[in-house]
């Protein structure tokens, strides 16, 4: 008989606790506390293998960003104090996401660049690729699209020759870039590859890549979108529960189930209050504004979109602020008392067509089929007594002018 080494036991408890967290969505405090106590008695030689190092990542996914930051910084300091240079990059690898999600984007970028420098200095190729992912992800959020895309595309061949997890990460950034640009088909192509790798890894809990993939699919493939939304909602952790509900709202809206969409989005807002993630919150407000506008709730739509714009501007997310402003510009300020007998859907289609949208663009904007847009447009022409898109634009402009109050 022999006494088990506390260091070995504490190290063995790490994957056990991690599997339970990913399976249940709850941090197993009993296992964590036992591992931390054993670690105090006899810490594993590698700082990155300790329970205290893993705890930071679980707290991150549980929405406790302050706690995650604290444990990652403890891990970093322990690696410095013990001369464990190999564990330093790991200690920094999660911090860019913690700061990005928390809304501290300058700090996120600084940490990402520090991570990259450490990974290169220590010669850790996998950590270097993760650092490139972190730098590109932060840069894409801040609107530096060309720079982020170039760094990812340059790193992909190296990633493809090694650990597929890095390929997953890099493709997820490309997908986010395309979603930010409103290029849904291109986003779906990159995100499909990312999802394949993620699901092939055997991961139990869905990652944020699902929110971008769902948004990419609702434009053209509702059946596939339904499967992605269901998978995301069913396995989302506390951190991404709100974004999973936003995706459900998007899918419901695409099916013309606007009441159900609002219900999902309102529930998402409740979760946003529990886990403060400013960028995700603003994305939900953007979708809420779109749905409110489609329901004809102009003030509610303007309020949601204005709040989204404020947050995007404060964070420094120019592409997303531009998208929200474009949506706000589609909310009518006033309408003529006589709507010429147009239904709410016909009114929306007429405004978009008069604004220069093609039938395909209108279909994507309102989550309709092109055939439905065409049939509605035929009725609009008949009701307004016009025969062309230019005549329609002139007719609506005249109607709005007639609706303006007389100047004193």
pLDDT of residue 235: 86
Tell me how far apart the alpha carbons of residues 292 and 298 are, in angstroms, rounded to a whole number.
Answer: 7
Question: Who's near 257: CB < 8 A, 6+ residues apart?
Answer: none
Using the CB atoms, write b or e for 323-352: b if 16+ within 10 Å. bbeebbebbeeeeeeeeeebeebbbbbbbb
Inter-residue long-range contacts of 14-22, CB under 8 Å, 24+ positions, other chains counted: 14/49, 14/50, 14/51, 14/54, 17/51, 17/54, 17/58, 18/54, 18/58, 21/58, 21/61, 21/62, 22/203, 22/204, 22/205
Residues of the chain under the 50 pLDDT cut: 1-2, 336-338, 403-408
188's tokens: 């779906």
pLDDT of residue 58: 93
Looking at CATH, the fold of the domain delimited by 344-403 is given as Arc Repressor Mutant, subunit A (1.10.10)
CA angle 142, 145, 147 (to 5 degrees): 105
Tell me how far apart the alpha carbons of residues 206 and 166 are, in angstroms, rounded to a whole number.
Answer: 17
CB distance 235 to 206 below 8 Å: yes
Using the CB atoms, write b or e for 370-390: b if 16+ within 10 Å. eebbeebbebbbeebebeebe
Tell me how far apart the alpha carbons of residues 22 and 236 are, in angstroms, rounded to a whole number.
Answer: 10
pTM score: 0.81
Q: Is 189 exposed, middle or buried (0-12, 13-18, 19+ CB in 10 A)?
A: middle
Tell me how far apart the alpha carbons of residues 212 and 229 are, in angstroms, rounded to a whole number.
Answer: 11
Enter the CATH code of domain 1-105. 1.25.40
Tell me how far apart the alpha carbons of residues 188 and 215 are, in angstroms, rounded to a whole number.
Answer: 9
Domain boundaries, the chain: 1-105, 344-403
Task: Express each pLDDT in 67-114 by its tens digit.
Answer: 999 999 999 999 999 999 889 998 899 999 999 999 999 999 999 999
pLDDT of residue 296: 86
């Amino acid at each position: 008989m022999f006494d088990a080494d506390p260091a070995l036991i504490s190290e063995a408890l790490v994957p056990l606790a991690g599997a339970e967290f990913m399976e249940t969505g709850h941090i197993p405090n009993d296992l964590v506390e036992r591992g931390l106590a054993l670690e105090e008695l006899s810490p594993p030689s590698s700082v990155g293998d300790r329970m205290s190092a893993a705890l930071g990542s679980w707290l991150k996914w549980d929405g406790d960003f302050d706690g995650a930051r604290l444990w990652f910084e403890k891990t970093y300091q322990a690696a410095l104090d013990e001369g464990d240079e190999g564990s330093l990059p790991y200690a920094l690898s999660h911090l860019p996401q913690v700061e990005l999600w928390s809304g501290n984007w300058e700090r996120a970028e600084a940490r990402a660049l520090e991570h990259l420098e450490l990974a290169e200095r220590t010669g850790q190729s996998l950590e270097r690729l993760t650092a490139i992912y972190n730098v590109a992800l932060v840069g894409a959020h801040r609107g530096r699209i060309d720079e982020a895309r170039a760094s990812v595309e340059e790193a992909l061949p190296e990633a493809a020759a090694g650990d597929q997890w890095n390929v997953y990460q890099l493709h997820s950034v490309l997908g986010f870039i395309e979603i930010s640009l409103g290029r849904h088909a291109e986003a779906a192509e990159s995100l499909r590859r990312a999802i394949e790798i993620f699901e092939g890894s055997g991961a139990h809990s869905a990652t944020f890549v699902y929110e971008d993939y769902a948004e990419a699919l609702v434009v053209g493939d509702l059946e596939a979108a339904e499967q992605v939304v269901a998978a995301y909602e069913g396995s989302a952790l506390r951190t991404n529960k709100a974004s999973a509900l936003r995706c459900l709202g998007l899918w419901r809206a695409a099916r013309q189930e606007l009441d159900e969409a609002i219900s999902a989005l309102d529930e998402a807002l409740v979760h946003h209050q529990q886990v403060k993630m400013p960028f995700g919150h603003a994305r939900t407000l953007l979708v809420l504004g779109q749905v409110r506008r489609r329901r004809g709730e102009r003030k509610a739509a303007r309020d949601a979109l204005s709040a989204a714009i404020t947050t995007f501007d404060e964070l420094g997310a120019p592409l997303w602020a531009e998208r929200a402003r474009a949506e706000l510009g589609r909310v009518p300020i006033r309408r003529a008392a006589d709507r010429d007998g147009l239904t709410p859907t016909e009114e929306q289609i007429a405004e978009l067509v008069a604004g220069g949208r093609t039938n395909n663009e209108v279909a994507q904007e309102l989550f309709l089929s092109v055939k439905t847009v065409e049939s509605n447009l035929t009725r609009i022409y008949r009701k307004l007594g016009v025969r062309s898109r230019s005549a329609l634009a002139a007719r609506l402009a005249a109607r709005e002018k007639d609706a303006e109050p007389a100047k004193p």
